[in-house]
Amino acid sequence: MLEISHLTKRYGNVVALDDATFAARPGRLVGFLGPNGSGKTTTMRCVFGLVRPDAGETRWNGKPIDRSARLSFGYMPEQRGLYPRMRVAEQLAYFAQHHGMSARDAKAAGTRWLDRLGLGDRANSKLEELSHGNQQRVQLAVALAHDPELLVLDEPFSGLDPIGIRTMTEVLRERAAAGVGVLFSSHQLDLVESICEDVVIIARGSIVAQGAIDDLKRSSGRRHLEVEVEGGDGSWLDGVGDAVVLERTNGLVRLLVGDEIDLPRIFDRAARAGRIRRFTFEPPALSELFMEAVEPDPGHEKVTGARR
Amino acid sequence: MSPLRSIWLVARRELLERGRSRAFLAGLILTEVFIVGGLLLQAALASQQSGLKIGYIGSPPPVFEQTIDAIAERNGVKVELFAYPDRPTAELGIKAGEVDGVYEPPPDESSPGVLIFKEGPDSRIREAVNQAVLAIRLANSGVDLRPPEVVALEPASAEDPTALIIANVGVIFLFISIFSFGFWVLSGVVEEKQSRVVEVVLSTVRPRDLLMGKVLGIGVLGIGQLLVLVVSGLIGARLLGSFEPPPTTVPALVMLVVWFVLGYALYSTMFGVLGALASRMEEASNVTMPIQFLAMGSYFLALVVVVNDPSGLVARIASLFPPAAPMIVPMRTALGGIEFWEILLSIALTILFIYGLFNVGARVYSGAVLQVAGRMKLRDAWRSSR
């Protein structure tokens, strides 16, 4: 288990991390979410000893992370980069050896991952001769070749085409299923929602939400109500109570409401206004949970009682 | 994983990647061409100079031969003596170009004899023969011709022109080698920052081990190149017979290698550390300007001041200043103008300096190498270091 414990880091007057605390369980895909500049990269750099926090610590399996622990980690930094003029296979072997593998094992592992990622025929190419997407695959292979127990990936999906996204997803799922800890940051919230079990949301250096996505949704206290009434003029809305109107077009109304709302009453009112084509009541999407967590005051139109 | 293994992996990568690079191979070939070309040129010049051939009708007396040899040695000219049985054969020899001039001694001492040339007189031969004839006459009149015994109050500075050439070429060569390989460390550091690979590397390698491995790997390459060139130069010189190595050659070459190692370690560390402050290659030359001044200053001090007075006060002081020592001390050694204890002291001071430099430098390097945006200040790098 990766534990981030009360990390604080300041750069001059800028607070990059402010008492950030969370844990990432192995065997699960953990999405690390937050707006730009919220402290994701700094947190990851702390894990790898690239940034020394002013306070707090990082632990792996209960022990403070040191150099030897990091040998069993795999890292894909936000700023991608490998040696441009080094051959791909040699590059992989080089980094795997730095993680403590013997020269022979490192070479074999490099070859295995290149084949797995569809780059087997490019083993002897120089990195700079590869396309951007393929360079990104090599970068992933560098993070994976030494068979790490923990993967920390900074925006692994950014810049990937749909095929690249699928490959990345498969690999991350497979690693998690093998019991590896996987923490990755991303701005693609729908993607995160579809592949992750857990998320950690950071804003202004502090953790504002964390846990299983399902639990977060359930406990959010907000629900999405989507109602489509044929021919209705929408006047039935007047009796709904406190709600945020998200969308209102041609008889379709999307509302953000509390989970204690009196559903049967709304249904009755809508049914009386016209024929109901759709009536759904769902927890919010991850993207909404995210917005809510990082920006508590959304700029939506708010209806209180009778308002159109 | 031990730091030694990290350093070894980094050094090996530098060695393999750069040893195979076109830049290294081209540089090696180019310097080889210079060395071989230089030797050929020297051999050609030497063969033009060689060859004062003097004929003597009859058999030359020992005093004549000794005097001619002494004059030849003093002027650095090779002289060969030919003996002819009579004047007609000698004249044929002159016409055939066998000899440049022939001396016909007088039958008795009433006349000075005749010096025969093909065309106008060669002044060098005339001087030499004049003196030799004088010597014969003095010897015949019973004068002791042995030169006085030499007593020197101070050890002589080398007058041997070969030593001077070796000293000059050695220092130029050192300067170029130290600078070019030091510059490789600089460009390696900046490239790692620019390509952002450094963040991946540093997730397992300590910054100081990365710097150390880089300096070592490129250094081994530099020593390799130096040895190839020195050995090929010596072999070439021997094959062409272009010059007789003076007695200071071997210590001078040992010094060359020792001071390359020290000078390279010192300058490449400085290059690596200051290079880490830059984030692009264009900034690197600005950032390393102080190093370039330091190296240039030491270089010109060696070539202009120390060469004329290798045991003077300036030379002695500069030898104790580590950044200058790699240029100054080999120059003084090649000229024979340095005491052994001075060399040892200078080496010791330089090693100490490199040790301190590396420890200070590694901290700056750690602080700066992850700062990928813009140029960093030395002080900030020191402070932000882990």
**What's the confidence (pLDDT) of residue B373?**
61
d(CA B8, CA B1): 12
Choose the weakest-confidence range: B135-149, B218-232, B372-386.
B372-386
The phi and psi torsions of B34 (rounded to 5 degrees) equal -60, -45
User: Alpha-carbon distance B230 to B227, whole Å?
Assistant: 5
The mean pLDDT value for B140-144 works out to 76
Amino acid letter, A218: R
What mean pLDDT do residues B161-184 have?
82
Yes or no: say if B57 and B105 are a contact pair by the CB < 8 Å rule: yes
pLDDT computed for residue A302 by the predictor: 44
CB proximity under 8 Å: A 23-52 to B? 45, 48-52
Measured between CA atoms, how close is B223 to chain A, in angstroms? Answer: 23
Q: Where are the beta strands (DSSP E) in chain B?
A: 52-57, 79-84, 101-104, 114-117
Beta carbons within 8 Å of B353's beta carbon, 6+ residues apart:
B266, B322, B323
> In chain A, whose CA is at the least distance from the CA of B202?
A50
**Is the separation of the CB atoms in B31 and B225 below 8 Å?**
yes
Residue B156 has pLDDT above 60, yes or no: no
pLDDT of residue B267: 94
Which residues does chain B have within 8 Å of residue A79's beta carbon, measured at their own beta carbons? 196, 199, 372
> Which residue does chain A place closest to B209, by CA atoms?
A98
Interchain CB contacts (distance < 8 Å): A and B? 66
Half-sphere exposure of B11 (CA within 13 A, CB side): 17
Asked if B198 and A80 come within 8 Å (Cβ–Cβ), the reply is: no
Summarised one tens digit per residue, pLDDT across range B307-325 is 888 888 888 999 999 999 9
Element counts in chain A: helices (H) and strands (E): 10, 15
What dihedral do alpha carbons B248, B346, B366, A146 form, nearest 10°?
50
Q: Which one is predicted more confidently, A274 or B43?
A: A274
Q: Report the chain B residue with the minimal C-alpha distance to residue A80.
A: B196
Chain-wide mean pLDDT for chain B?
83
Neighbouring residues of B299: CB distance < 8 A, sequence distance ≥ 6: B171, B175, B327
Are A81 and B205 in contact (CB < 8 Å)?
no
B148 Cβ contact partners less than 8 Å away, ≥ 6 residues apart = none
Interchain contact A70–B (C-beta under 8 A): yes
Q: Rounded CA gap, B270 and B189, in Å?
A: 11
Q: What is the DSSP string of B48-78?
A: HH--EEEEEES---HHHHHHHHHHHHHHT--
Comparing A75-84, B229-238, B367-376, which segment has the lowest mean pLDDT?
A: B367-376
Residue B364 has pLDDT above 60, yes or no: yes
**Range in A168-172, A187-191, B307-311 with the lowest mean pLDDT:** B307-311
Residues of A in contact with B9 (CB under 8 A): 94, 97-98
Q: Give CA–CA dist B160/A52, Å, rounded.
A: 61
Q: Minimal Cα–Cα distance from B12 to chain A, Å?
A: 10
**Count of C-beta atoms within a 10 Å radius of residue A188:** 17
Of B13, B196, B203, nearest to A75 by CB-CB distance is B203
Nearest CB to A50; choose among B1, B13, B203: B203
> In a 10 Å sphere around its CB, with 0-12 CB exposed, 13-18 middle and 19+ buried, how is residue A206 labelled?
middle
Q: Which residue has the higher pLDDT, B309 or A107?
A: A107
Residues of B in contact with A153 (CB under 8 A): none
Average pLDDT over residues B258-266: 93
A200 close to B (CB below 8 A): no
Please give the mean pLDDT across all residues of chain A.
Answer: 88
User: Chain B residue closest to A86 (CA)?
Assistant: B17
pLDDT band at A34 (very low <50, low <70, confident <90, very high): very high
What's the first-to-final CA gap in chain A, in angstroms?
Answer: 50
Q: How far apart are CA B332 and CA B343, in angstroms?
A: 9
Closest to B200 (Cβ–Cβ): which among A86, A100, A142? A142
Whose structure tokens read 């799922």? A173
Question: What is the pLDDT confidence band of residue B330, given thresholds at 50, 70 and 90?
Answer: confident
A134 touches B: beta carbon within 8 Å: no
CA distances from B64 to A270, B75, B348 (A): 136, 17, 54
Residue B199 in contact with partner chain A when CB distance is under 8 A: yes
- With contacts defined as CB-CB under 8 Å, which chain A residues touch B21? 85
Name every chain B residue with its beta carbon within 8 A of the beta carbon of A142: 200
Nearest to A81 among B21, B197, B205 (CB): B197
Contact at CB, B206 and A67, closer than 8 angstroms = yes
Give the pLDDT band of residue B158 (cuts 50, 70, 90). Answer: very low
Residue B200 contacts A where some CB pair is shorter than 8 Å: yes
Over 80: is that where the pLDDT of B42 sits?
no
Residue A306: is its pLDDT beyond 50?
A: no
Alpha-carbon gap, residue B348 to B344, rounded angstroms: 6
Nearest-CB residue to B204 (from A71, A79, A86) = A71
Task: Output the pLDDT for position B337.
Answer: 81
Pairwise CB contact (< 8 Å): A50 & B9:
no
Check residue A29 and give its pLDDT: 94
Distance between CA atoms of residues A93 and A108, nearest Å: 8
Task: Output the pLDDT for position B348.
Answer: 95
At residue B49, the pLDDT reads: 58
Highest mean pLDDT among A294-298, B122-126, B241-245: B122-126
Q: How confident is the model at residue B242 (pLDDT cuts 50, 70, 90)?
A: low
Query: Which of B9, B200, B205 is the closest to A82 by Cβ?
Result: B200
**CA B169, B175, B177, B180 torsion-angle sign:** negative
Which of A 135-154 lie inside 8 A of B, CB atoms?
A: 142
Question: Which residues of chain A neighbour B200 with C-beta distances below 8 Å?
Answer: 75, 77, 81-82, 95, 142
* Cα–Cα nearest to A67, from A53, A47, A82: A47
Residue of B14, B17, B203 to mutate when probing chain A, most A C-beta within 10 A? B203
Question: From residue B278, how far is each of A80, B182, B379 by CA, in Å?
Answer: 19, 16, 14
Angle at B60 between CA B57 and CA B62, to 5 degrees: 175
B1 CB neighbours in chain A (<8 A) are: 67-68, 71, 98-100
Helix orientation angle between B3-19 and B22-49, rounded to the nearest 10 degrees: 60
- B200, A81: Cβ pair inside 8 Å? yes
pTM of the model: 0.76
Q: Are B199 and A50 within 8 A, CB to CB?
A: yes
Q: Which of A74, A255, A89, A248 is nearest to A148 (CA)?
A: A74
State phi, psi for B76 to the nearest 5 degrees.
65, 35
pLDDT(B372) > 70: no
A60 touching B (Cβ < 8 Å): no
